[in-house]
Chain A
Amino acid sequence: MRKNSRLPNLKNLGVLLRILVIVNLLGLLAAMLRSAEISDLPPLIAELSMQIQPILLTSILTLYLLYPLLIKLNYWQGITVIILVVISITTLIAMLFTIYLTFDTVSIPYRSIVLSSVTTAIVIYYFNLQQRAYSPAIAEARLQALQARIRPHFLFNSINAVLSLIRSQPKTAETALEDMADLFRVLMAENRDLVPLANEIALCKQYLSIESLRMEERLVLNWQIDKAPMDALIPPLILQPLLENAVYHGIEPIPEGGEISIIIEQKQNELMIKISNPCNTKNNDHDGNKMALKNIKERLALHFDLEASIKHRTINNQYTITMRLPYEKR
């Protein structure tokens, strides 16, 4: 997962966006303080923005490039380096401005240095606070609460199915019980670390083989995972609840059943997972479905911030969920 440093992850789009927003909001605030009338505001913003943006963008770019080095330092060393980098960039850009735009004599731009240092400190403090709010203990607790819960419906129906197999097909009953044991071991596990995609797929196959016992030929599976990066790290139980929904809402209400297709592939630095199943338009009790989706959305946000997304749509009685996650390896 995250590296061992408490520094904000400067490779994360969400973090970079937040920096841009915070600094620009502070700029806006400064412009407001200086404007007496509302009509003064636009030119003031433009003027300030002209000074802020070059420093801001250059600093972000530099820190983005320096990030692999920064995470090797401890927290306070990292902060010191960040502030020093920002101060140097501020000085450099402010001096270039003076030379090329105002032709004044070059002096040290104290005001800019103090302002940009304070701004940097505010941003770092914000991330520190945010990190504390999402501190491992709290995030762990939230993940625990969000942990996927299998439907009791599935548990009891499966036990019922296995009971009926014991007399006639003891071998099949054995396999089914072993699959159930594996499934519930993962469901009850405390460990919420990312797991390799291969593990999750194996688990889903076990889950679906139990469902196939119950649904028989009504459940048709179409796995398209030849191009899936099996070493990609994903939150555990992110796929299984979606498949459970697909069976519950897509196969069970239809007398003749249908096909669930699962497509997993790598697209540049992203992992794309697509699950689709038939859906009965008449049947609109999708509350359970919404809950599972919301749950997965929150877990993705806790793990990947803005870099993961999940979308769903219904076209021609076909329900499709598309999930994108950053491709991370161990």
Chain B
Amino acid sequence: MSEKLKILIADDETLARNRLKDLLSDLSDVVVVAEAKNGKQAIDLAVIEQPDLLLLDIRMPLMDGLEAAEHAQKLEQKPYIIFTTAYDTYAIKAFDVSAIDYLLKPIRIERLIAAIDKVRALKPMASAAQMEAIKSLQQNARSHLSIHERGRIILVPVEEVLYCRAELKYITVRTVEREYLLEESLTNLEAEFDTLFIRLHRNCLVAKQHISGYEKRPDEKGDLHWHALLKGVPDTIAVSRRQQHLIRKT
């Protein structure tokens, strides 16, 4: 392997990032291409820098390392992932039974080298298996949805989403500004974000906090049906007959 391994470091503490940079600067065959203060920044930078390896702190504001690792799977060139953590009993237990590597802070150079050697030896197939494991580690709902768009990854904060509507192969994700196409299943989204979204129609999840009210509107035949009104956009969501009991509760 003649080319240097490109590494992205993500940690919210400057000193922790400096520590990793110091250690990595002692190694000859690696180069740090970017530093991020949180998971979201890590993904944004990874899109530009295309690193081979992400060193992700688990506990970061805005987006944690576990979630960033999941979004990173949509990158053109899937990077290897090593997590860093000071103390996290839950995650460490989970890592010990999976193939994913992690480093405990304070980080030792020997451990760092061993971890890098290990990921380099991995075949791409094995990395796919690792990612299944990362998914299972996620205990909290994601903070962002990642949209794959013309080779880029756009992170949409979940609280900005007005509704998700299933169409043929994709899901349309609507925010005040625009629409995005997401490759996921509505059922999984419903299960993950059950506190935020309400299923008003067989094909539509609506964000509770963005509903401004309900109104009866006539359809082509002149029959009246309930529609949910949304804050900030003229779109309305038809409420299916079976879900009408949900309106009464709100």
Contact = CB atoms under 8 A, between A and B. Distances in A.
B15 A161 contact: yes
Nearest to B140: A285
A5 interface: no
A254 B63 CA distance: 10
Main secondary structure of the interface of B (DSSP, over half): loop
Interface string A152-192: 11011101110111011000000000000000000000000
Interface stretch (A13-21, A122-130, A212-220, A260-268): A212-220
Contacts of A163: 19, 106
Contact of B106 (A160, A168, A252): A160
A160 B86 contact: yes
Contacts of B22: 164, 167
Contacts of A152: 86-87
A157 B19 contact: no
Interface size class of A (residues with CB under 8 A): 20 to 34
B176 to A, nearest CB: 19
Contacts of B167: none
B27 to A, nearest CB: 16
Nearest to A153: B87
B38 interface: yes
Given A157-B16, A157-B86, A255 B61 contact: yes
A252 B61 contact: yes
A253 interface: yes
Nearest to A151: B87
Interface of B: 12-16, 18-19, 22, 37-38, 59, 61-62, 86-88, 104-107, 143, 159
20 contacts: A151-B87, A152-B86, A153-B59, A155-B87, A156-B104, A156-B105, A157-B13, A157-B105, A159-B105, A160-B19, A161-B15, A164-B22, A165-B15, A214-B15, A215-B13, A216-B14, A255-B37, A255-B61, A255-B62, A282-B159
Interface of A: 151-153, 155-157, 159-161, 163-165, 167-168, 213-216, 252-255, 282
Given A164-B18, A252-B59, 10 more contacts: A151-B87, A152-B87, A153-B87, A156-B86, A156-B105, A160-B19, A163-B106, A253-B61, A254-B61, A255-B12
